[in-house]
Structure 1
């Protein structure tokens, strides 16, 4: 059983009110045009109050009744399944677009474990229009990104721009300021550690913590 989808109740209510529709009008539209015969005005009201959550079929039907895209009714997508639903794409289309058998793709959604190769991952990112942060998280590349970032702030960051840009599919120029800032932050922590330790080469707690959180630091610096 899938966890509830992130749902923006305020957005749903605002769209309904903008269209001048009552809960009954929305429910009728969902039943008559989108195959959700069980939906009543009480369902719509409960979704808006946050006392109930629509499932994937109900969310798609609600978006259709409100003349909007499913992503307009969702909070920030977190999982592969949620990103697919936010884009209004069927599992069959993602499987076909990435070159995966349908049952293999569906299993990846259910387990939350993406196992596609680099080519399939790139196609997935394009198909779902995944921002770099979501692409890295969904395709399981956070460990590789953390390794490259650690090397960048520990040595000469310019030497790692190309590999990082290729990994997250962004222009190299966008990485110059974030990596330079992170390099100086980390080096300042290390200099302070050495000063406090009287010349010791121990990395220090602050430096270790910075490296443990280095991916989060990176996303905070990278422009959306």
Structure 2
């Protein structure tokens, strides 16, 4: 079933203005040198003032300009970007064109471009694995981009509130982690959720039950973030 691709909406790339300036200065180049290099190698005409504007974070380069700037500065596009957050940003960081990435994961280019623009993931497990490999995606990002975060949240909520043992296998089907690792994290979530409920009930007063409900809902509202944090903490 097609599912929404979370965090796939296009936005301005997280351009690292300071990195662009630092790399240029390390090469002994002026903004004029960079502008000329971009025009000579990529045929994109920009002014030295535009390069300076990028470095002052007053404006940001387009995707084509970013690729050309990286070429002029002899660096990878990822060195000019902050931490990627969207599918498009992960692709830009590696300097991949949409058609190249679509070919690598075995997906029609137009289908991939719709996905990157915030469309729906309808690929299979093989394509998801290929996407993760091509973009070197961390597991949380892969889960988001393939629209599985909602399902994972539901499983984690049930695991914390009921018998966590019953959810080890379903969670393992979504998250490629060792079984023991998943068991440990689910048990932690269950224990902490139950403890939060019990603690508020012991506060005393007539509103104890209501307070425990609020504490429990607050814990469950953040359960996906808690899961990833604990997964990272338990990694060797």
The alpha-carbon deviation at position 115 of structure 1 amounts to 2.8
Runs of 4 or more above 4 Å deviation: 196-203
Structure 2: which 5+ runs fail to align?
Answer: 1-8
Counterpart selection for 2:28 from 17, 20, 29: 20
Q: Could you say if the C-alpha distance between residues 11 and 188 of structure 1 is closer, same or farther in structure 2, counting changes exceeding 3 Å?
A: same
The secondary structure found in structure 2 opposite 1:88 is coil
Matches within 5 A, 1:129-140: 129-140=136-147
Question: Equivalent residue for 2:6?
Answer: none
Which piece of structure 1 moves more, 156-165 or 137-146?
156-165
Which piece of structure 1 moves more, 12-21 or 109-118?
109-118
Question: Equivalent residue for 2:86?
Answer: 79
Q: Could you say if the C-alpha distance between residues 157 and 4 of structure 1 is closer, same or farther in structure 2, counting changes exceeding 3 Å?
A: same
The secondary structure found in structure 2 opposite 1:111 is coil
Matches within 5 A, 1:42-121: 42-121=49-128
Residue 212 (1) aligns with residue 226 (2): no
- Quick one: distance in 1 between partners of 2:105 and 2:128? 8
The alpha-carbon deviation at position 177 of structure 1 amounts to 4.7
- Note if contact 1:121-1:139 (Cα within 8 Å) is conserved in structure 2: yes
Q: Could you say if the C-alpha distance between residues 170 and 21 of structure 1 is closer, same or farther in structure 2, counting changes exceeding 3 Å?
A: farther
Question: Equivalent residue for 2:41?
Answer: 33
The secondary structure found in structure 1 opposite 2:202 is helix
- Quick one: distance in 2 between partners of 1:96 and 1:39? 31
Q: Could you say if the C-alpha distance between residues 177 and 73 of structure 1 is closer, same or farther in structure 2, counting changes exceeding 3 Å?
A: farther
- Quick one: distance in 2 between partners of 1:34 and 1:207? 56
- CA deviation map 1:112-165 (0-9, x unaligned): 433323332222112111111111111111111102211222234354334334
The secondary structure found in structure 2 opposite 1:137 is helix
How large is the RMSD of aligned CA atoms in angstroms? 2.5
Structure 1: which 5+ runs fail to align?
Answer: none
TM-score of the two chains, using structure 1 as the length reference: 0.87
The number of residue pairs the alignment matches comes to 223
Q: Could you say if the C-alpha distance between residues 63 and 168 of structure 1 is closer, same or farther in structure 2, counting changes exceeding 3 Å?
A: farther
